[in-house]
Structure 1
Amino acid sequence: MRKYFCVAFLPFMYSFYYSQGTKKAAPCYDLSTVLKVEPTALYKSHLDASKSFGVKLLTDSKTVQKYINSGKFHKIKKSGKGYRVQKLDYSRAYMVSKAKATLEKMASRFSKETKGHTFTVSSITRTLEDQCRLRRVNSNASMGISSHNYGNSFDISYIRFNDVLKYNPKMEAALEKVLKYYVAAGRIYYIKERQQSCYHITVRNY
């Protein structure tokens, strides 16, 4: 009887622990709640532009990797002419090709107009998981869908230039001049996010 019990019990225990170990962790966000959040009229144009690139809502690392593997997403270098990318804790340095090219052109123009100065990119592409983690440390982070969730948006700090965290009205004015040029050219939308001390930029599918 004892031998029979052990033979029956051990497979049960193995099955129990195996199922517990392989159980998929639940996401830290509720998709239905996220989708219910209505964007402001100003932000709707950003989301419409994002959805025009044929990228599905980025929920987690796997969805980002899928677009990297297919060649849809391109790596953003840590630095280039006119820009630096700060350490990214809640976003990923990948974007669609048009967004990458636009960032580089904007940075080059900024460098030319300021005679070699650089601006700082503070956030790039985020998944819903990234956004959820960000909300834990920043209550101002979006509760709904963000244009960062599609790989064509990035943020530029307006208080960090040349790797120095300091308010610089001259550099900020030069940066906004570049932004306005690209808005007029039909290439981008932007919003000044005062709580985050950055410009939120969404590249249009021009």
Structure 2
Amino acid sequence: MPDDECVKMKINPVGGTLGRVFNDSNYIHLDEAERIGIKPIESIADVWRLKRPVCHIRSCREYGVDSLTHSLPYLVPEAAALLREIGERFNDSLQARGGGSYRLKVTSVLRTKHGIKKLRRSNRNAVEASAHQYGTTFDISYAKFLCDSVTVNRTQEDLKNLLGEVLKAIRDEGKCYVKYERKQGCFHITARDIRKEGES
């Protein structure tokens, strides 16, 4: 990301600091993930034997997928649709405020049991009972964004707060749970199946 001659953006307040606003408990994330997600898998080979369909997540114009070292690029359809919607609304909001060629960076997706054990050796914040095991949960970085071309320079802080504004609106619509991860520099997001909730 360029860091000089940045153009400031107007950001709408979300009602407090990002850490305070996005503080959905990991227990809530896990409960929803267990309810609508896949059965946890051991390795990538298990993806092909799943009864619940999953979508392969690839970099696109809405977001970029980081080089995943501890997770696999798969999500259940509800979570894949949510990720795309977040990217679309972020891009639309950015263009409505004067532009800039930035995309969101997805840093973690589906984790296997083996991947979680490996991750816990280097990351003390990683928990064994992770919502990432169910294909419902992904992380989007707020510390780094992808800059495809230099059109309008934006600050990392403005882009982070714009993403927070978008996530607040989507969470208020009942589509997801969000946790602001300070040490990991990301938003931890779990999709919600509002269709099922409306039927019950």
Q: CA RMSD in A?
A: 2.2
Counterpart-to-counterpart distance in 1, 2:40 and 2:52: 17
Counterpart-to-counterpart distance in 2, 1:89 and 1:122: 9
> What TM-score do you get using the length of structure 2 for normalisation?
0.74
Counterpart-to-counterpart distance in 2, 1:163 and 1:135: 31
Equivalent in the alignment of 2:133: 149
Residues paired across the two proteins, number? 162
Mapping 1:75-154, distance limit 5 Å? 75-77=56-58, 79-115=59-95, 116-142=101-127, 144-154=128-138
Larger % of helix: which? 1
1:174 aligns with 2:162: yes
Give, in angstroms, the shift of residue 54 of structure 1: 5.0
Instruction: Describe the SS at the equivalent of 2:142.
Output: strand
Counterpart-to-counterpart distance in 2, 1:76 and 1:46: 20
Q: Higher relative contact order at CA 8 Å, sep ≥6: structure 1 or structure 2?
A: 2
Contact kept, 8 Å, 1:81 with 1:111, in 2: the verdict is no
> What TM-score do you get using the length of structure 1 for normalisation?
0.72
Equivalent in the alignment of 1:74: 55
Counterpart-to-counterpart distance in 1, 2:57 and 2:82: 12
1:188 aligns with 2:167: no
Counterpart-to-counterpart distance in 2, 1:204 and 1:188: 5
Q: Residue type matched to 1:180 in 2?
A: K
Structure 1 spans left out of the alignment, 5+ residues: 1-40
Encode CA deviations 1:59-107: one digit per residue, 9 max, x unaligned.
Answer: 333433322xx46111011x22231111001100001011001100110
1:49 aligns with 2:32: yes
Q: Residue type matched to 1:75 in 2?
A: H
Call closer, same or farther: CA 1:54–1:121 in 2, change over 3 Å. closer
Counterpart-to-counterpart distance in 2, 1:64 and 1:180: 32
Counterpart-to-counterpart distance in 2, 1:163 and 1:126: 27
Counterpart-to-counterpart distance in 1, 2:85 and 2:173: 13
Q: Residue type matched to 1:156 in 2?
A: I
Structure 2 spans left out of the alignment, 5+ residues: 1-23, 96-100, 149-153, 195-200
Q: Residue type matched to 2:120 in 1?
A: R
Instruction: Describe the SS at the equivalent of 2:174.
Output: coil
Contact kept, 8 Å, 1:84 with 1:163, in 2: the verdict is no
Higher Cα Rg: structure 1 or 2? Answer: 1
Instruction: Describe the SS at the equivalent of 1:80.
Output: coil
